[in-house]
Amino acid sequence: MKLASYWHDTAPAFAGGHAGPVEGRYDVAVIGAGFTGLNAARKLARQGVKVAVLDAAHVGAGGSGRNGGHLNNGVAHGYGDAKAHLGAERAKALYQAYDRSIDMIEDVIAEEGIACDFRRSGKLKLASKPSHVAGLQANQELIAREVDPDTAWLDRADLAGEIGSQAFHGAALFRKSAMMHMGKYLTGLADASQRHGATIWENTPVTGRRKTRDGWELETPRGRLAANTVIAATGAYSAQVPGAPLGHFRKRIISMASFIIATRPLTEAEVAATMPGNRTCVTSLNVGNYFRLSPDNRLILGGRARFSAVSDQRSDAKSGEFLRAAMEGIFPHLSGIEIDYCWGGLVGLTTDRFPRAGEADGMIYGMGYSGHGAQLSTLLGQVLADLAMGRRDTNPLDGMDWPAVPALNGKPWFLPLAGMWFRLKDRLS
């Protein structure tokens, strides 16, 4: 078993990173070379803007290359809850932003010729308990009525052709959802950004940020550059940067680890017995699971196996044991199957689990996807590019307040308590 991301291990690495020192003057400097930062850089470069991208590790080293591979439309919350929290108009706009972002991903792939196994698979939100059916069905009916008619309710009997498991009691089907190979999309985005004129430095953490008369100076171990505008696209990994450069976000982003396993490739018979519908799937528990088939027919299954802000090889391996047990509970016929990959990554949560994008602390930013960044980050990356070019009418999150979390400065000490609470809720639901 490899303690490595399947997406990284099975995609060509980006080979175009700038080898020289960090220097020069740029119109825009982007911190973070994931989906958000690369989409911002690509759009800016296509518009003739001189743009630099700086990443502390490598392209897609953070959440963009360490997720479950889902591009699921719709908000993370029940749509009624989103309306109550955001108001009807903004809730609808945010829901539709997820739809538009998946359309944008499809457009970028076509425009740049990126071979990344993109497919409109549809998503199933699976009822893990009989008591969850009524709420999920009511949410699907509200969505179909008000914002997305391309959804449907599937009774338990309907699931036989979708998933080879007796663990679920019905499901909401969201037909616009998709999947792709995340690593291949990342490399394609980085190649395209550079081809259009962006300069990308890997293994270059930003260690300092200083206001100047006509913009900002960013300091790195490899040198300094000047930029008129800075975009922060670091997400959950903002908390990994100590000190002043991203201090504003360290007090607002709750970094939480999520863990994933991938089996050996399944045989045709095993695929038919496991995932005949070949969709993305998410369970309805608070501490639940998400799963799909990979392009080479591995079952990729993830979840918050442990409430921790640490993802390293020891933590990932320990969490992999919990995920194997979860997988075997859902698919008993896969008991004992070889696990080829196990990895983890950090999810950037906000307290209300809605993303944020705008301007603060002298920077333009987009983050806080709360586990739904793979799908929304393409749109938000392009929104950040618009903001950098002075356009302010494309941001679906414009004006949303984002207060600091009390006593948070990068280390969410309260995660174990949150885990206990959510597991209790699952037992009582």
3-state helix, strand, coil in the chain (%, to 5): 35, 25, 40
pLDDT reading at 418 higher than 90: no
3 state DSSP class of 218: strand
384 sits in which H/E element: helix 373-388
Phi, psi of 294 (to 5 degrees): -80, 170
The mean pLDDT of 291-300, rounded to a whole number, is 98
> Cα separation of 306 and 325, whole Å?
13
Query: What is the CATH number for 87?
Result: 3.50.50.60
pLDDT in tens, 47-86: 999 999 999 999 999 999 999 999 999 887 789 999 999 9
> Cα separation of 230 and 246, whole Å?
11
Cα 101–chain centre separation = 12
Domain membership flag for residue 429? no
Question: Computed from CA positions of residues 2, 72, 306, 380, in that sequence, does the dihedral angle turn out positive or negative?
Answer: positive
pLDDT reading at 221 higher than 90: yes
Q: Where are the beta strands (DSSP E) in 221-336?
A: 223-232, 254-263, 280-283, 289-293, 299-303
Per-residue pLDDT, 125? 97
Domain membership flag for residue 269? yes
Domain membership flag for residue 426? no
pLDDT in tens, 407-416: 887 777 676 6
Q: How many domains does the chain have?
A: 1
Q: At what angle do helices 133-146 and 79-86 cross, to 10 degrees?
A: 60
The mean pLDDT of 231-236, rounded to a whole number, is 95
Domain membership flag for residue 427? no
Domain membership flag for residue 424? no
Domain range spanning residue 130?
A: 6-419
> Cα separation of 358 and 361, whole Å?
10
Domain membership flag for residue 122? yes
Tokens 């009418």 sit at which residue? 393
Domain membership flag for residue 425? no
The pLDDT-based confidence of 22 (bands split at 50, 70, 90) is very high
Domain membership flag for residue 428? no
The pLDDT-based confidence of 425 (bands split at 50, 70, 90) is confident
